[in-house]
Structure 1
Amino acid sequence: AQTCYADARVALVQHFRCVPACIAYSNSLFYHNKLQPRRLPPRSRRLEPALIDVRVPNATRRGKINEAEANALVRYLVDELAREDSEIKDASVGVISLGGVEQARLLRVKMLESLSDVQLARHRVVVGDPTSFQGDERDVILLSMVASAKSTYPQLGRMYEQRFNVALSRARDRMVLFRSLNASDVPNPDDLKLKTIQFFASSAHARTLARANAASPHADASVDASAASSPVGQLHNYLASRGYLFTGDCPVAGSAAVVEDAACDRRLCICLDGGSSLSE
């Protein structure tokens, strides 16, 4: 976002709407990674993973709609809201068609048929295309790509950049992509559909690597040993020895550590300012 004055332009770089993962797409493609995400919900309200990629099998776009993809999206939401332990039982929900208003109309009809008035009101369900979400936000956004392997057209240029930027920056806590094609089905490397598929795929790959690293005692030991003498290393070891949950590479705080108290559902940012050791 930018504010323009007569003789100057001020860029607003701190971003409070989305968790880091949900603004990463727009931040990378449209804001040159200048946005600084500042949203970190309490652990009890944090939706992890923040990005979910759903490949819908045997789905085909006919005309301007993809009914199988719409059915999969609606079924996903109905099933999620029916679960007593659902992570999104109290979340607001938005549904965005990346392929035009026709798919949005189809999704709206299916939502009205499948969800009760109470559910629609409780979760503030809104269905539309990107233009209808300008200036709006929801806790969870469900995206319908619409295009399929044998029925796709390039989405590139300024108009589609604006639409994808809006669509993929409305989710506060989670985005779920429903798609009926693979990256190999999109021939144009500049097509925003391809960039979107690759973005969700890279996020899934990063989560896999993170789980592997977390499960490796050798990786943790080498990091602790090499950093033990630094102020940050001392802080991490101090927190770990007392049983605190913490992260040292929080994209929100950009600080030495974010400590979380699971019992009280609170978090605290600890920053080191000068000094060569904790004793200073």
Structure 2
Amino acid sequence: MGHSGAPRPDGLGPLVRDDGRRGASRWSYGKDDDEGLFLAEHFRCRSEIIEYCNELLYKGQLVPSRPSAGYRLEGLVEHPFLFREVPGSEDRRQGSSRVNPTEAEAIAAWLDEHWDRFCEAYGAAGDPEKQKGVFGVVTPFAAQARVIQQTLKRVLGAQREKLVTVGTAHTLQGAERSIVLFSSVYGDNSGQASFIDNTLELMNVAVSRAKDLFIVFGAKTRWNDGGPVFRLVRRMAVKDAPAGQPAVTHDDGQVAAPVEVAAAEPISAPEPAAEPSVPEVSAPKSGDAVVAWAMIAAWDESGGLPDGLKLSAVKLNKALAAAGLIRKGDRGWEPTDEGAAVGIVGYGGERDGETFVNVKYTPAAQVALLDRIRSGALSLG
């Protein structure tokens, strides 16, 4: 893997920029002098898949480096990045999470129809261990993951259901599957996919788990969605139309034709509870850091926090300080070197005539810290 960036020459403390801001790292990269190290070369995904992430979060700085030869799905799919419309798609709240049973049915039906041919393409026919590496299903909401698992068990049978990894982006963090199906959840009754647009890093993780094929299952409203996530899906994906129907055009009016690929190596719904909504988080720009309460609200709505955990910014700050990731200075919280390494950044301002400092959490930090909470590595007791 390659990277760009330069170390701070004196080797001391967090970087203090020329504009006076305290940085998160001794390293910086790119034309915007972003903080941290950046591993530019990407080998896991087909270029048609990782280019989505490149535009969503990485400012075009990723270098797709996987060879184009050897694509195992040649002739089986139109394109490595697809959108499949789900007619009649509607979501509903379930506590602080969301579910969409119609979308779960569509995903189960797709897997049932395509299981044998794709397993054969990967040399996994009749081999359950190899089949575990073929399919994954990712969704933003933990409640929807449970609905999908129930639906797969009913449609595919218990044996096959266990061979499909199903969960939120956190479930597959650090993992990969040859084929990943994404359940958008927000249906035609939701004008915006607010949580997805507010947590771009989670979509980045979901997409980049797929080596050979990523399929977005979503309502017609999502294909026409103007938010940052689905606007980019519409521009980069091919709509997976039934046989005999005309190809779908992209925003530029060009017909979405299949790409030419050479031959590459190989991821009953419960009734909704009448609970109040979790406060929405204002949509950040790509890669923006957020304050603790916004990060916790996003974790809560996604169902990412362990069951029964009530987390506040004060409780989180104490845990992060105990873990050596942040420290309390004279003017407020600031990241330690270890905290900076996981993506915690400092910022400052003025309130009532006095200056203060505090910390924010980059998308990378949001994923890393939630992983520590879920694994028990970060003690919140």
TM-score higher than 0.5 here? Answer: yes
Contact 1:96 1:142 in 2 (8 A): yes
The RMSD of aligned alpha carbons is 3.7
SS of corresponding position for 1:57: coil
The DSSP-based 3-state class of the residue aligned with 1:146 is: coil
State the distance in 2 between where 1:93 and 1:118 align: 14
Aligned with 1:199 (options 202, 216, 236): 236
Once the two structures are superposed, the pairs formed by residues 147-162 of structure 1 within 5 Å of their partners are 147-155=186-194, 160-162=199-201
When structure 1 is superposed on structure 2, of 35-44 and 58-67 the one drifting more is 35-44
Equivalent runs, 1:60-209 vs 2, <5 Å: 60-63=90-93, 64-83=98-117, 87=121, 90=124, 92-98=134-140, 100-116=141-157, 118-120=159-161, 124-155=163-194, 160-183=199-222, 186=225, 189-201=226-238, 205=249, 208=255
1:18 counterpart SS class: coil
CA displacement at 1:93 relative to structure 2: 0.9
Distance 1:78 1:41, change over 3 A: farther
**Conserved 8 A contact 2:91-2:186:** yes
SS at match of 1:148: coil
Range 195-204 or range 47-56, more displaced: 195-204
Residues 39 and 135 of structure 1, relative CA distance in 2, 3 Å threshold: same
SS at match of 1:166: helix
Segment drifting more, 145-154 vs 200-209: 200-209
| C-alpha distance in structure 2 between counterparts of 1:136 and 1:3, whole Å | 24
CA distance in 2, matches of 1:20, 1:135: 19
For 1:50, the equivalent position in structure 2 comes to 80
CA contact (8 A) 2:223 2:230 kept: no
Q: 2:86, 2:233 → 1: CA distance?
A: 16
Relative to 1, partners in 2 of residues 1:3 and 1:157: Cα closer, same or farther, differing over 3 Å? farther
State the match for 1:26 in structure 2. Answer: 53
- Give the C-alpha shift of residue 159 in structure 1: 5.0
Question: What is the total number of aligned residue pairs between the two structures?
Answer: 213
Cα distance per residue 1:197-250 (max 9 Å; x no partner): 4432599658946669x9xxxxxxxxxxxxxxxxxxxxxxxxxxxxxxxx9xxx
Structure 1 CA distance, aligned partners of 2:256 and 2:223? 23
Query: Contact (CA 8 Å) 2:119, 2:134: kept in 1 or not?
Result: no
| TM-score, with length taken from structure 1 | 0.63
Q: Could you tell me how far apart the structure 1 residues matched to 2:118 and 2:237 are?
A: 27
Bigger shift: residues 203-212 or 25-34: 203-212
Q: Give me the whole-angstrom Cα distance separating, in 1, the residues matched to 2:172 and 2:215.
A: 16
Task: Calculate the TM-score normalised by the size of structure 2.
Answer: 0.48
More helix by share: 1
Q: Partner of 2:89 in structure 1?
A: 59
Greater Cα shift, 82-91 or 135-144: 82-91
Pair 1:56–1:24, CA change in 2 (3 A):
same
Partner SS, residue 216 of structure 2 = strand
User: For residue 274 of structure 1, what is the aligned residue in structure 2?
Assistant: none
Q: Distance in 1 between matches of 2:256 and 2:89?
A: 30
Paired residues of 1:80 and 1:86 also in contact (CA < 8 A): no
1:74 offset after TM fit, Å?
Answer: 0.6
CA distance in 2, matches of 1:14, 1:58: 41
**Runs of 4+ with >6 A deviation:** 1-5
1:107–1:127 Cα contact (<8 Å) kept: yes
Q: Is the 8 A contact 2:238 2:256 kept in 1?
A: no
Distance 2:52 2:118 in 1: 31
